[in-house]
């Protein structure tokens, strides 16, 4: 189930959304230029390592930003082409409308806080894990949470795969995001004891999404509609 676009035009240019996509892409291109050994060091330096967060230590190589500064920097790192493409596609489809409702500055703060919360929840579930967490998916999951609150009736043009059958359908945003969250939740349950070798950080997705739902109440006040007397 891949979102192609939402049928919900934005009223303004999503400057912050575009900027995040550009920065993530540039950082990823820089990663590709590094030799494999240095790329691994770079990711460990700027990714979130749960063991560092919960034990107050800096696992070599040292983090230029401290382990807590990495709660922000990890959001701009990615581990492969499919990783960054999927994340940026989701951000492009869902981010513009949320940015439009929040405003540019509030959206950037919201996005960052969702990413921080996602990393903390992932680290709380796996406090002894020494594998770096990277990627924008926790923050983008928060954007999906906001979208679910703000635009539940929007329509999502979706590419679906059922065995060898491929089709493009339109789904209500509420249903689309509900199915997405169910997949994250079930995947998290099945993977809770199997992350020692790396993999998808499902609990980061769940944490980011729930944070996004909660923060939307703080970051967005519904526009008042004036009463008209006829």
Q: What Cα–Cα distance (Å) separates residue 32 from each residue in 28, 37, 65, 102, 193?
A: 6, 12, 22, 34, 31
pLDDT on residue 59: 67
The answer to the question of residue 227 being in a domain is: no
β-partners of residue 159 are 2, 168
Cβ atoms of 203 and 122 closer than 8 Å: yes
Q: What is the pLDDT of residues 140-189, one digit of tens each?
A: 999 999 999 999 999 999 998 887 888 899 999 999 999 999 999 999 98
The answer to the question of residue 68 being in a domain is: yes
The answer to the question of residue 226 being in a domain is: no
Q: What is the pLDDT of residues 182-196, one digit of tens each?
A: 999 999 988 877 655
pTM, rounded to two decimals: 0.90
Which structural domain, as residue segments, surrounds residue 19? 7-149+175-219
The answer to the question of residue 170 being in a domain is: no
- Residue 101 CA to its chain's centroid (Å): 18
Contacts of 85 (CB under 8 A, 6+ apart): none
pLDDT on residue 176: 96
Q: What Cα–Cα distance (Å) separates residue 19 from each residue in 52, 99, 148?
A: 29, 12, 23
Cβ atoms of 124 and 135 closer than 8 Å: no
| Of the listed ranges 17-26, 79-88, 217-226, the one predicted with least confidence | 217-226
Q: What Cα–Cα distance (Å) separates residue 54 from each residue in 40, 116, 128, 157?
A: 22, 14, 8, 41
Taking residues 97-112, report their average pLDDT.
96
What is the token pair recorded at 144? 């999906």
The answer to the question of residue 75 being in a domain is: yes
What is the token pair recorded at 184? 């994250």
The answer to the question of residue 79 being in a domain is: yes
| Of the listed ranges 30-34, 124-128, 192-196, the one predicted with least confidence | 192-196
**For the domain that residue 195 is a member of, what is the CATH number?**
1.20.1540.10
The answer to the question of residue 161 being in a domain is: no
143 exposed, middle or buried (CB, 10 Å; 0-12, 13-18, 19+)? buried
| Of the listed ranges 73-77, 197-201, 203-207, the one predicted with least confidence | 197-201
What is the token pair recorded at 160? 């679906």
The answer to the question of residue 184 being in a domain is: yes
Q: Which residue has the higher pLDDT, 111 or 67?
A: 111
The b/e string for 16-41 (b: 16+ C-beta within 10 A; e otherwise) is bbeebbeebeebbeebeeeeeeeeee
pLDDT higher than threshold 90 for residue 69: no
Total domains in the chain come to 1
Query: Above pLDDT 90, what percent of the chain?
Result: 70
């Amino acid at each position: 189930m891949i979102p192609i676009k939402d049928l919900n035009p934005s009223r303004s240019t999503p400057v912050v959304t575009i900027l995040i996509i550009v920065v993530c892409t540039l950082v990823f291109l820089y990663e590709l230029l590094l030799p494999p050994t240095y790329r691994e060091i770079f990711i460990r330096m700027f990714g979130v390592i749960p063991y560092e967060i919960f034990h107050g230590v800096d696992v070599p190589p040292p983090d230029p930003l401290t382990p807590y500064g990495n709660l922000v920097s990890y959001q701009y790192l990615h581990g492969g082409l499919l990783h960054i493409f999927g994340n940026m596609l989701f951000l492009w489809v869902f981010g513009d409308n949320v940015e439009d409702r929040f405003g540019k500055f509030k959206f950037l703060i919201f996005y960052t806080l969702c990413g921080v919360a996602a990393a903390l929840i992932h680290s709380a579930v796996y406090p002894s894990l020494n594998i770096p967490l990277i990627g924008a998916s926790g923050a983008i999951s928060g954007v999906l949470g906001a979208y679910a609150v703000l635009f539940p009736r929007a329509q999502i043009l979706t590419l679906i795969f059922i065995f060898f059958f491929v089709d493009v359908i339109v789904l209500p945003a509420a249903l689309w995001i509900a199915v997405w969250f169910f997949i994250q939740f079930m995947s998290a349950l099945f993977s809770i004891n199997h992350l020692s070798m790396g993999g998808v950080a499902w609990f980061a997705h769940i944490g980011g999404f729930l944070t996004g739902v909660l923060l939307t109440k703080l970051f967005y006040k519904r526009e008042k509609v004036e009463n008209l007397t006829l």
